[in-house]
Amino acid sequence: MNAAVPSAPAGDGREERPRRAGPREHVAAAVGLLDRPLTSYYLVLGCSIMLLALGLTMVLSASLVQQIQATGSAYTLFQKQAMWMAIGLPLMWLASRLPVRTFRAFAYPLLLLSIVALGLVLVPGLGHSAGGATRWISLGPLLVQPSEPAKLALVLWGADLLARKERLGQLNEWRPLLVPLLPGAGMLVLMVMLGSDLGTTLVLLTIFLALLWVVGAPGRLFVGMAGLVCLLVAILIIVEPYRLQRLTGYLDPSQNQYTTNYQGTQGQLAIASGGWLGTGLGEGRAKWDFLPHAETDFIFAIIGEELGLVGTLVVLSLFGLLAYAGLRIARRVRDPFTRLAAAGATAWVVVQAIVNIGAVIGVLPITGIPLPLVSYGGSALIPTLIALGMLLAFAKREPGARQALAARGPGPVARALSWLGLARRQ
């Protein structure tokens, strides 16, 4: 008969080892982090900074060969992009500190300014055309694309308009819901369409549909508007021969690989040659005059070639986290304008990223829109940074966010000002 094993006497100095946390505990801890008041704030800020850093690095890598040939310096576009970032980041910081009423005050002036600027694009001598589209205003050495601020204008104006109607209880019928939202959005879309810019037209229509969805438009009305958008896009494709060629090339990529399908084919070859870990930063071959517009529309292909599948998954993860943060803000805030503007801005950035990446990997037709925060171009970068700064301002209005910020203490900017003796005395 086996004797019972005696238990260790108390106080013998031996202690039980702590039990290792299992997968469930790790998942619970991760979910707990996502439930914190400032999660949205730090996700928007962190994803934006990482995408900006990656974008600046890849702009240098993607453009150095072409710029050495054109200007003798590999850093020409890199320096310009860094300059745009130096302008956009302070604007992002300023937007993150503005009250909601300031964004609402800017809505109507920005909409009017966008319509005027889009009209100037169509003026002979001022408008600049490239790639079949007239998108830019030529201001000496600078090319400004007014359709980019128009996205921000539609977000602010549409959110303000619907928030006012919701407060007055005027969203029960389709007429007050669509008027004047539909004519205003239609004016912006028409101005962009006259410049043959299908990519920006898609983004503006996406913002319009996102606002209708968040405000709770009836299902029939939303489906009808979505069908109208699809019909409009089909008409835009049919009336322009080069767009129709892109569509047929997308449907049959094996044809015309050296003409209309050349850019898409080279982009997919670049991604395929990257493998798991890529060829190495700066070691890609597609930028050696094989892939057109490598630093703008097809910078994702350079990321796939030089950083491999891992690099592309990092980019997708950052945009996925940005989408989660933006929708979290829209779900948690109480103010109707804040909810609508957050959803509209998130739809703008995320859908534009999806359309760009989808075109590069061949699951969507090529539309010629840049990858937000990553592609070269100041006209797209600055409005996007302002929109992200607006999301940061809205994130501070989530439940418990103000208390968490107050408990955190002064930020680095406030500390720097205090060191200089410029901080406001309490």
Between CA 142 and CA 119 the distance in angstroms is 18
Three-state secondary structure of 83-94 = HHHHHHHHHHHH
Percent share of the chain, pLDDT over 90: 48
Name every residue whose Cβ is closer than 8 Å to that of residue 113 and which is 6 or more positions away in sequence. 149, 153
Name every residue whose Cβ is closer than 8 Å to that of residue 133 and which is 6 or more positions away in sequence. 195, 196, 197, 198, 368
Residue 156 contacts residue 391 (beta carbons within 8 Å) = no
Between CA 267 and CA 298 the distance in angstroms is 7
Residue 205 contacts residue 367 (beta carbons within 8 Å) = no
Whether 176 is covered by a domain: the verdict is yes
Whether 44 is covered by a domain: the verdict is no
173: phi > 0 → left, psi -120 to 50 → alpha, else beta; which? beta
Whether residue 246 has pLDDT greater than 50: yes
Whether 15 is covered by a domain: the verdict is no
Instruction: Give residue 134's pLDDT.
Output: 66
User: Residue 75 burial by CB count (10 A; 0-12/13-18/19+): exposed, middle or buried?
Assistant: middle
Whether residue 384 has pLDDT greater than 80: yes
Mean pLDDT for the stretch of residues 103-110? 95
Whether 132 is covered by a domain: the verdict is yes
Instruction: Give residue 198's pLDDT.
Output: 82
Whether residue 425 has pLDDT greater than 60: no
Whether residue 114 has pLDDT greater than 80: yes
Instruction: Give residue 346's pLDDT.
Output: 97
Query: Where in the sequence is the domain holding 110, given as residue range(s)?
Result: 53-397
Residue 241: strand, helix, or coil? helix
What's this model's pTM, rounded to 2 decimal places?
A: 0.87
pLDDT category at 43 given cuts 50, 70, 90 is very high
Instruction: Give residue 418's pLDDT.
Output: 53
As a dihedral over the C-alpha atoms of residue 364, residue 367, residue 369, residue 370, rounded to 10 degrees, the angle is 50
User: Strand 133-139 to strand 142-144: parallel, antiparallel, or no bridges (unpaired)?
Assistant: antiparallel
Whether 289 is covered by a domain: the verdict is yes
Whether 144 is covered by a domain: the verdict is yes
Please give the order of strands across the beta sheet that includes 127-130. Answer: 127-130, 133-139, 142-144
Q: Which two tokens stand for residue 63?
A: 């453009």
Instruction: Give residue 16's pLDDT.
Output: 54
Q: Which two tokens stand for residue 13?
A: 């100095």
Q: Show the CA angle centred on residue 59, arms to residues 245 and 205, nearest 5°.
A: 45
Strongest mean pLDDT among 197-211, 303-317, 391-405: 303-317
Which residue shows structure tokens 């840049």? 370
Domains identified in the chain, total number: 1
Mean pLDDT for the stretch of residues 225-250? 78
Whether 2 is covered by a domain: the verdict is no
Residue 200 contacts residue 134 (beta carbons within 8 Å) = no
Query: Which residues sit opposite 128 in a β-bridge?
Result: 136
Whether residue 296 has pLDDT greater than 60: yes
Strongest mean pLDDT among 7-16, 117-126, 148-157, 412-421: 148-157
Mean pLDDT for the stretch of residues 113-133? 78
What is the tens place of the pLDDT at every residue in 187-223? 998 888 887 778 888 899 999 999 999 998 888 888 8
| Residue 345 or 252, more confident | 345
DSSP alpha helices (H): ranges in 275-298?
Answer: none
Identity at 86, one-letter amino acid code: A
With residue 387 as reference, give the H or E element that holds it.
Answer: helix 378-395
Backbone angles phi, psi at 169, to 5 degrees: 70, 40
Mean pLDDT for the stretch of residues 356-381? 90
Percent share of the chain, pLDDT over 70: 83
Least-confidence region, from 59-63, 118-122, 161-165, 337-341:
118-122
Q: Chain-wide mean pLDDT for the chain?
A: 84
Q: What is the largest CA-CA distance in the chain?
A: 105
Identity at 392, one-letter amino acid code: L
Backbone angles phi, psi at 121, to 5 degrees: -60, -35
Whether 123 is covered by a domain: the verdict is yes
Backbone angles phi, psi at 136, to 5 degrees: -115, 155
Between CA 263 and CA 256 the distance in angstroms is 11
Strongest mean pLDDT among 60-74, 206-220, 242-256, 342-356: 342-356
